Structure 1
């Protein structure tokens, strides 16, 4: 979320993130299932957006880099154990994973996240290994001229230099959204995604 906010501040928004994806509802999710199955329509999925971060896009990073050959790629890295702990409190929390097995939204999550991690979302050793393999794979497959390996704690400097934009005034946006994510997930479980999001159509970017 910090990267989403930062990219939008730098003029590369709107930035697509899971918070844009979920409210769009089943028809939009199906497009991601199709993409995971080898039939993507990237122009439709990202219509109106200037950048993307997070799942579901990050598990398709290579396909997206190929489709948008002029796009730059920022690989955000962090301490693996802290990343694992964060996932277990939020997107891989056991009660959330169990809930997804029984709802339509779960098919989309399965295709874009769980399959990418071999359904081993609670296996710390494996998940950290997969985390590190992903980072190594990105650095091996994306040309160095297109890639920035970045920690948000590094702030505006390296990101702005890489994207060739001026450093803005103000501090880099550090967004700690763990509690907010937990609240949204619990609300979805209690009320259902349709009640929470409404599915009134894709919101205007």
Structure 2
């Protein structure tokens, strides 16, 4: 059963948040990284959910104590209804431009160039995008910015304040531990999946390296 539901968009420190929640809760956290390992099972069920065909969340997220990042975060409202005791964490950047720079230099590149493992995967990504940013093509920066702001407003309007933790990238252990009523670990807060990490893992480091302005954008 989920104890934490992530409502934050990709490239808002979700890999770091995954690691932190696994440390705090002692159980796996669902993340897009998990979907890469479950490519035959996860994309079809999340695609069906995005199309309004229903979802057995207990089955989909069996064994996980938390879920962050796409695709699960696109269903924060449905998950919050299914798991009424769970804390909802809205991970976010300090401003849209920071998020846009990180996303366009990492995951958008992958969406455009590397292809996807199955047709269901590609369809899932398209459906999740439309669910999150309705009517805003990825190529239209201004439209995405407006949809980005509306998305955050929807989260705040949907989730009661007492359940919602707004977690700015780099906030550390304290907001999570306070919401979960857990002690702050002695170990340093993790810091994973920077823009540089992403490019090096993909073998796609641009000529001249990753700009320093983007190195610390996870």
In the TM superposition, what is the alpha-carbon distance from 1:186 to its structure 2 partner? 6.6
SS at match of 1:76: strand
Q: How many residue pairs were aligned?
A: 186
4+ residue stretches of structure 1 with deviation over 2 A? 95-103, 113-119, 176-187
Assess if the C-alpha contact under 8 Å between 1:76 and 1:149 holds in 2.
yes
Offset of residue 178 of structure 1: 2.5
Q: Distance in 2 between matches of 1:24 and 1:133?
A: 31
CA RMSD in angstroms, aligned pairs only = 2.3
Instruction: Choose from 12, 17, 20 the match for 1:6.
Output: 20
1:35 equivalent in structure 2: 49
In structure 1, the residue corresponding to 2:25 is in which secondary structure? coil
Tell whether 2:154 aligns with 1:154: no
In the alignment, structure 2 segments of 5+ residues that lack a partner are 1-14, 205-218
C-alpha distance in 2 between matches for 1:7 and 1:130:
28
Deviation at 1:61, TM superposition (A): 0.9
Is structure 2 residue 38 aligned with structure 1 residue 24?
Answer: yes
Q: Secondary structure at the match of 2:62?
A: coil
- Give the direction of change, closer, same or farther, for the CA distance of 1:41–1:182 in structure 2 (3 Å limit): farther
**Match in the other structure for 1:51:** 66
Aligned match of 1:172 in 174, 179, 189? 189
Give runs of aligned pairs for residues 1-205 of structure 1, distance below 5 A.
Answer: 1-11=15-25, 13-38=27-52, 39-78=54-93, 79-93=95-109, 96-97=111-112, 99-100=114-115, 103-104=118-119, 105-117=121-133, 118=135, 120-182=137-199
- Structure number having the greater helix percentage: 1
Q: Which moved more, 1:176-185 or 1:128-137?
A: 176-185
- Is the Cα contact below 8 Å between 1:35 and 1:41 reproduced in 2? no
Cα distance in 1, alignment partners of residues 201 and 130 from structure 2: 19
For structure 1, the 5+ residue unaligned runs are 188-205
Shift in Å, 1:163: 1.1
Tell me, what secondary structure is at the counterpart of 2:108?
coil
Q: Give me the TM-score of the superposition, normalised by structure 2.
A: 0.76
Question: Are 1:156 and 1:167, in contact at CA under 8 Å, matched by a contact in 2?
Answer: yes
Distance 2:22 2:202 in 1: 25
